[in-house]
Structure 1
Amino acid sequence: MGAQAPDLSALKGQMKASWMAGDFGKIAALNRKWGEDFVDRLDLKPGMKVLDIACGTGNQALPAAHKGANVTGVDIATNLLAQARERAAAEKLAINFIEGDAEELPFEDASFDVVYSMFGAMFAPRPERVAAELKRVCKPGGMVAMGNWTPEGVPGQIFRATAKYLPPPPGLQPPSMWGVEDVVRQRLGDGFELKMQKVRARAEYAEMKPMDVVNLFREWFGPTKMAFARLDPENQQKLASDIEQIFANANNHPSGGMSHDAEYLEVQGRRK
């Protein structure tokens, strides 16, 4: 007999709990420039209707609103949406943040001029549903954009290290497959004219050491926090050591601190 398919409802409940654990806002605050740079390359115009899928705390939604776009952000994690609303209010931006699922977007067909997701929709368990929803809610002639971690980059390496100790449910593809150009063409190529490039985003952690960064993610990054919580002490130590080594190998800080380049695949597609 083949492997049993995962219980989708239970899996999504676990994913929501994972992203709500810790405080992702403390991690996202370190990387706001990544979202700003991503949005800058989209050439948004005032009045465009923009959808940010898996918007988190608003790192991509707020820059779009500052450009005059009419922005909606959607995410499964209610606590991240609350932070996004607080940030938007503090900057006097009118952004509509709502709870929702990348695989079942609560919007009419052809609702948005630009639809994007940075390090978000790639984690949904059914990539074919994500691709279909991206196409459905984007207007003909509109743009879809994604920022997806590659398998080779530091985040992709950490995903693989974690999967050694916590194998994913049978039948699920690694999220970093969205960071492979040929896979993206298979998923989106029949609906979009695609342009892709690999981007290196610099991650800076001041005077931290590699293990300090491991501990930072263990405390505040929900998926990492939950992964360690599911392991016994021995395997927690092994996983922490594996991730420490990944950070140490990638460290390019000039004076003994911790920094590295995090590679992702930037996808821009014009809907046919």
Structure 2
Amino acid sequence: MSVPNALRALTGTPQTLNTRKKETTMITAMQQTAPDYTAIKAKQNAAWASGDYARIGVTLQITGEELAEAANPAPGAKVLDVAGGNGNATLAFARRWCQVTSTDYVDTLLQAGRARAEAEGLDVTFEVADAEHLPYPDESFDMVVSTFGVMFTPNQKKSASEMMRVLRPGGRIAMANWTPNSFIGHLFKTLGRHVPPPAGVQSPALWGTDDWIAEQFADGSREIALKMKNFNFRYASTQHFVDIFKTFYGPVHKAFLALGDGAPALEADIVETVERFNIATDGTMLVPSEYAEIVITKA
């Protein structure tokens, strides 16, 4: 029974005192176990603001370019980049003459995207915005896009519904999301064994599964196209990757800081994870990581 249904049961029909007490206890328990999204987002904000994600984000630029090609935007299209980070999708769509609004709830990431857009002479609007509460009217964008961004929101269903809400009928949502069995999916699991995620928050990698995407977006969509692709992580060595990620990638950076004496064990596990996926034979690192390229057309 959902909380609203339970409340209706309490107020809408005669019940015994014992039954009412049981249902009140059930509602209280559900409320207590519901994730505190405000607190979770505050911690996430601090994590993504730590290090310097832009140093890593720029290496993923090709995924933004390929996503823009898959989305096939018309010049002049109004595009919203949700959880845009340092602007990979933002720049890709702006290079195709779209009117892009780039958003994130971490202002330092937007600053990196703004610097990149200014360096290229691209006219982009940058605004701090929460993906779970987008400050835009219904049906106000032709496209809503995200590369490895919106998938990290804690209230996943709310973010998905917000993307659909601000999209006009016939418009398209375009996303690149890591999959559960990808290298990055396994890296998340490795981190989770050392620094458990907040209770009640589902894996970000659900956004890379066809079942979850269909569950969130099928109602109200005309078409969902999902294509599995690979991004290649290329580093001078496994240790080079570890050093870069623990220095610049916010969630990994924060995990190492939090673990203290436990940091060496996390580093050893990350090294083991990398080596399981590494296909380089010359001492360098070449790790393909699967992701889902998704284009959804709203009905």
Partner residue of 1:247 out of 262, 267, 274 = 274
**1:196-254 Cα deviation digits (max 9, x unpaired):** 1111111211xx22122111100001111011211131x21111111111111111224
Equivalent residue for 2:254, pick from 203, 214, 226: 226
- Aligned equivalent of 1:44: 73
Is it true that 1:62 corresponds to 2:94 in the alignment? no
Counterpart amino acid of residue 226 in structure 2: M
Hey, what does 1:258 align to over in structure 2? 285
1:270 counterpart = 2:297: yes
Deviations 1:20-79 (A, max 9, x none): 100011101222222112212211111100111111111111111111111110001111
State the SS of the aligned residue for 2:254. helix
**TM-score of the two chains, using structure 1 as the length reference:** 0.95
Residues 168-206 of structure 1 deviation map (CA, whole Å, 9 limit, x = unaligned) = 22211111111111111111111222111111111211x
Q: CA deviation at 1:85?
A: 0.9
1:125 has 2:125 as partner: no
Q: Compare the two structures and name the one with the higher helix fraction.
A: 2
| Structure 1 consecutive aligned stretches of length 4 or more whose deviation exceeds 4 Å | none
Structure 2 counterpart SS, 1:139: strand
Match of 1:26 among 40, 55, 61: 55
Q: Does the 8 Å CA contact 2:70/2:295 hold for their aligned counterparts?
A: no
Count of residues in correspondence between the two structures? 269
**Per the alignment, in what secondary structure is the counterpart of residue 13 of structure 1?**
helix
Aligned AA (1:182): D
Q: Which whole-Å CA distance do the structure 2 matches of 1:203 and 1:170 have between them?
A: 30
SS in 2 for 1:72: strand
Alpha-carbon distance change, 5 to 230 in structure 1, aligned in 2, over 3 angstroms: farther
Amino-acid identity (%): 36
Which residue of structure 2 lines up, in the alignment, with residue 198 of structure 1? 228
| Inter-partner Cα distance in structure 2 for 1:178 and 1:62 | 22
Structure 1 portions without partners, runs of 5+: none
- Which residue of structure 1 lines up, in the alignment, with residue 104 of structure 2? 75
Contact 2:225/2:295 (8 A) holds in 1: yes
CA distance in 2, matches of 1:185, 1:171: 21
Q: Residue 262 of structure 1 aligns to a residue in which SS?
A: strand
Taking the aligned partners of 2:225 and 2:109, their CA distance within structure 1 comes to 30
Out of 184, 207, 216, the residue aligned to residue 178 of structure 1 is 207
Structure 1: how far apart are the matches of 2:255 and 2:174? Answer: 29
User: Normalising by structure 2, what TM-score?
Assistant: 0.87
Cα-Cα RMSD = 1.3
**What is the Cα deviation at residue 117 of structure 1?**
0.9
2:264 paired with 1:237: yes
The one of 147, 150, 167 equivalent to 2:196 is 167
